[in-house]
Amino acid sequence: MSKALIVRGYCGTGKSSVAKHIAKKNDFAFLEYDNFLWNMNTTREPSKFEYEITFKNFLSVLKNYLKTKKNILIEGPLVPRTNEDPFDIKKVISLIKKSNYECKIVQLTANEDICVKRRLCCTNSTTESLYPHENTALGRCFRYIGCI
């Protein structure tokens, strides 16, 4: 049975670095949700329509990968970035399972200091809205230093 591995976590937890390393070491196809979003728009916060198109494009490419029956690693957010973002992990998992893949999820975490340091090094212009959950300790910390 083919395998799908989903690596999730907040920005700054190292999910992209870990996911790329695992995919390369294990010869998995690699699909990164952020690339779809950032390629849609890099100069301002995406509109609801742009978020919807991004997720539909992501699902379409995922379907095509799954048809190959090759192992795949998906790197994506822990939660939707804003109320406008339709990212739905349940839809992703459902699609994977319907394609007869074994599906595993890895959720990465890091302490707030590490996330803040990594976050401050981030240069993507859309990153100011990547933490919609301002009531969390990490969200409060990022709001305090001006990231959200």
Name the more confident of 13 and 114: 13
Q: Which residue in the block uniquely carries the two structure tokens 């995406």? A: 46
- Could you tell me where the DSSP H helices lie in 8-79? 15-26, 33-40, 48-67
Q: Are 103 and 4 in contact (CB under 8 A)?
A: yes
List 32's β-bridge partners, or say none.
Answer: 75
Q: Pick the range with the lowest mean pLDDT from 54-58, 83-87, 104-108.
A: 83-87
**Could you tell me if 40 and 47 are in contact, meaning their C-beta atoms sit under 8 angstroms apart?**
no
Strands 72-77 and 3-9: parallel
Residue 67 is assigned to a structural domain of this protein: yes
11 phi, psi to nearest 5 deg: -55, 135
* 6 vs 77: CA distance, rounded Å: 10
Average pLDDT of the residues of the chain: 75
* CATH number of residue 71's parent domain: 3.40.50.300
| Strongest mean pLDDT among 16-20, 120-124, 137-141 | 16-20
- Token couple for 121: 């090094």
Does 115 reside within a domain?
no
How many structural domains comprise the chain?
A: 1
The reported pTM is 0.72
**Parent domain of 15:** 3-110
Domain-located, residue 128:
no
Q: What is the pLDDT of residue 3?
A: 93
Residue 66 pLDDT greater than 90, yes or no: yes
What SS3 state is found at 9?
strand
Q: Quick one: average pLDDT of 1-30?
A: 87
